[in-house]
A and B are shown apart, each in its own frame.
Chain A
Amino acid sequence: MNVAAGWSKRVKSRAQTRKQRNRAAQRLFAGSAALIFLVFFAIVTMLVQCSLPLWQSVSPPQFITGRVWKPDQGLFGLLPFILGTFWTTGLGIAFALPLSLLSAVYLAEYARPLTRAVIKPVLDILAGIPSVIYGMWGVLVVVPAVQSIFAPSFSRAFPHAGLFQSGNPTGFSIISAGIVLALMIAPILIALMVEILLAVPLALREASMAVGASRWQTVKYVVLPKAASGLIAALILGTSRALGETMAVLMVVGNVATLPRSLFDPAYPIPALIANNYGEMMSIPLYDSAIMGAALFLLVIVLFFNILSSLVLRRMLK
């Protein structure tokens, strides 16, 4: 009898320890999940806090629309950098979008499964190649090509279009950065777009073809409209990648803080500004908080794009 009592007691306590352990683990796991949110808020608050001193001498609208960036005179106008960021990103997207969309439609709708099976890992590997490598290729191939071929021929072919005229003698320019960015985001865009197109139900295609539509008509009237929001989300994701891209752009864009007027002018995007000025910014008052303000601006834009694309993509793919 004694033995039986001891046994039942032991069972009870063992179940209790298991429960306690489970509860402790749950608390630990939930705590580390909360850490994710903490990281996010830490990034935002630290940037806000470090940019605070700047707002006492320059108001945020002034900061964003100011055209002159002369830290030693206390002039902090971010506009050249904002325009540099948007020009390079916009151009990169303009190059990458048609190529990626056409390639993705081909891979999803026309290609044999074998082709798709070969291309997919290649795209994954290319998406993993470091940005420095793309930047190096830009310096070796794109910049000389822009300098000796694109810039002269475009300015001769369109003598009255200001977009193609530039006094920049080097190939380090917005268009070089656009080309390099397009190549960097194309693998990501294609992979994502193929996935989105394949998520369109097969039955829709069958229905379209059953009433006599050709393959392209099916793509045009059924698949693309159905996948449109996902494709746009993919594009936004690619844009936010391009906005924050640092090294590859920094290496080919020229880094001159002027308002760009032509595709062949140099520019100075925000990530390059941050990367280039970390060394000396401590010696000039307000310089560090101006850089933090620039980082904050970049972060806010990227966050907006990111949240938008994740919300849409989640609905499309799940």
Chain B
Amino acid sequence: MNPKRRTRRRLAQFFEEAFWLTLMRLALLSVVIVLGWILATLLLKGLPAINWELISQPPQGGYYLGGKGGILNALLGSIYLAGGGTLLGLIFSLPVVFYLATYLHHQSRQAALIRLMLDVLWGIPSIVYGVFGFLIMLSLGLRASLLAGIITLAFLELPILIRGMDEFIRTTPEEVVQSSLAVGATPLETTLKVVSRQTLPGLITAVLLAFGRGIGDAASVLFTAGYTDHIPTSLFEPAASLPLAVFFQLGTPFPAVQQRAYASALVLTIIILFISLLGRWLVSHFNKFLLR
């Protein structure tokens, strides 16, 4: 190759590199900027509207025309719904996690099938879970209630919980399980006394992830939990939720009520940020007790 052509080639190579690098930087920058913009809008609109009355009182008469009151009904309703859903989901997911961890071999066909099914369930849209929950609710003879919402959210959160814990438990060294089995422990004892200790950070991550998904999901509780201005006192009463509070208040033509939608959105985001950061902290705290 003659030297001139080589130089030209190097130059082209250099410019190509610079071009794509700039483009990539711009892409990442624009994604970060827009996502920051979302948070900034949320803060700018939400902060002026937030006050103690808003988060400490349920709506009073004429609330949706700009009357007094707050969103305590939605705040508590959301926590009940997501908390109940996560708890119910956890009860049903732990046995599956243990089954995957000790009873099935890591690469077995059955385990792969279960994981595939969980991935598929994870991907089903929440509106479909909402429809499913609604049909279950009708067949159980329930009306839109806290219980129906909790059941629906439990279905929605089940794959998140199982996959979350499963991903963590899979990092358990095979030797630990094998040594436990080798000294004569049954798989059940291995599960309860050895594997379960390895589950803790995974359990925390999965529970917080599922709780965050549950508290933020509107489509699945839209028909199953209903909406009410009262704070639910039993499982058979309807319950309000924060995402729906944002949605309904934003839909009113009154600026004073829309302000409350911004504040509700901010409250919801703060809860989710808090959960996420708490999860990170707890995992880094508990990670050091794990065998690896």
State the A residues within 8 Å of B (CB).
18-19, 21-22, 25-26, 28-33, 35-37, 39-40, 42-43, 46-47, 50, 98-100, 102-103, 105-107, 110, 119, 121-122, 124-126, 128-137, 139-141, 183, 186-187, 190, 214-217, 219, 237, 240-241, 243-247, 251, 271, 274-275, 278, 291-292, 295, 298-299, 302-303, 305-307, 309-311, 314
> How would residues 257 to 292 of chain B score, 1 for a CB under 8 Å from any chain A CB and 0 otherwise?
000011001001100110010001000000000000
A274–B218 alpha-carbon span in the complex (Å): 13
A219–B262 alpha-carbon span in the complex (Å): 43
Most chain-B CB neighbours within 10 Å: which of A42, A121, A124, A129? A129
Question: Judging by beta carbons under 8 Å apart, are B31 and A298 in contact?
Answer: no
A303–B116 alpha-carbon span in the complex (Å): 11
Top-8 shortest CB links A-B: A244-B125, A130-B216, A102-B27, A29-B99, A306-B123, A106-B24, A22-B186, A246-B219
Binds A, one of B38-46, B54-62, B229-237: B38-46
Question: Judging by beta carbons under 8 Å apart, are A302 and B96 in contact?
Answer: no
A139 cross-chain contacts in B, Cβ below 8 A: 250
Question: Judging by beta carbons under 8 Å apart, are B35 and A26 in contact?
Answer: no
Question: Judging by beta carbons under 8 Å apart, are A215 and B187 in contact?
Answer: no
Instruction: Indicate whether A310 sits within 8 Å of B119 (C-beta atoms), given known contacts A141-B41, A244-B124.
Output: yes
Set A42, A190, A274, A303: member contacting B120, Cβ < 8 A: A303
A121 cross-chain contacts in B, Cβ below 8 A: 280
B28 cross-chain contacts in A, Cβ below 8 A: 102-103, 106-107, 119
A203–B132 alpha-carbon span in the complex (Å): 48
Q: How far is the CB of B22 from chain A (nearest CB, A)?
A: 10
Interface residue B52 (Cβ < 8 Å from any Cβ of A): no
A6–B23 alpha-carbon span in the complex (Å): 81
State the B residues within 8 Å of A (CB).
13-14, 16-17, 20-21, 23-28, 30-32, 34-35, 37-38, 41-42, 45, 92, 95-96, 98-100, 103, 112, 114-121, 123-132, 134-136, 155, 158-159, 162, 186-189, 191, 209, 212-213, 215-219, 222-223, 243, 246-247, 250, 261-262, 265, 268-269, 272-273, 276, 280
Q: How far is the CB of A188 from chain B (nearest CB, A)?
A: 11
B32 cross-chain contacts in A, Cβ below 8 A: 119, 122
A251–B103 alpha-carbon span in the complex (Å): 46
Q: Which residue of A lies closest to B112 (CB)?
A: A314
Instruction: Indicate whether A310 sits within 8 Å of B24 (C-beta atoms), given known contacts A26-B187, A133-B38.
Output: no
A32–B199 alpha-carbon span in the complex (Å): 18
Question: Judging by beta carbons under 8 Å apart, are A128 and B124 in contact?
Answer: no
Question: Judging by beta carbons under 8 Å apart, are B131 and A47 in contact?
Answer: yes
A103–B155 alpha-carbon span in the complex (Å): 34
CB-defined A-B contacts under 8 Å, sample of 13:
A36-B121, A50-B135, A131-B217, A140-B45, A141-B37, A141-B41, A186-B31, A216-B21, A219-B20, A299-B124, A299-B125, A306-B119, A306-B123
Most chain-A CB neighbours within 10 Å: which of B16, B23, B37, B218? B218
Question: Judging by beta carbons under 8 Å apart, are B127 and A275 in contact?
Answer: yes
B100 cross-chain contacts in A, Cβ below 8 A: 33
Q: How far is the CB of A203 from chain B (nearest CB, A)?
A: 22
A interface, over-half SS:
helix
A28–B45 alpha-carbon span in the complex (Å): 51
A18–B187 alpha-carbon span in the complex (Å): 10
Question: Judging by beta carbons under 8 Å apart, are B209 and A18 in contact?
Answer: no
Instruction: Indicate whether A130 sits within 8 Å of B132 (C-beta atoms), given known contacts A33-B114, A137-B41, A310-B116.
Output: no
Instruction: Indicate whether A183 sits within 8 Å of B34 (C-beta atoms), given known contacts A29-B96, A132-B218, A137-B41.
Output: yes
Q: How far is the CB of B92 from chain A (nearest CB, A)?
A: 6
A40–B113 alpha-carbon span in the complex (Å): 13
A25–B95 alpha-carbon span in the complex (Å): 9
Question: Judging by beta carbons under 8 Å apart, are B272 and A128 in contact?
Answer: yes
Most chain-B CB neighbours within 10 Å: which of A245, A251, A275? A275
Question: Judging by beta carbons under 8 Å apart, are B24 and A307 in contact?
Answer: no
Question: Judging by beta carbons under 8 Å apart, are A216 and B16 in contact?
Answer: yes
B280 cross-chain contacts in A, Cβ below 8 A: 121
B219 cross-chain contacts in A, Cβ below 8 A: 131, 246-247, 271, 275
Set A22, A43, A99, A128: member contacting B188, Cβ < 8 A: A22
Question: Judging by beta carbons under 8 Å apart, are B218 and A133 in contact?
Answer: no
A46 cross-chain contacts in B, Cβ below 8 A: 132, 135-136
B123 cross-chain contacts in A, Cβ below 8 A: 237, 240-241, 244, 302-303, 305-306, 309-310
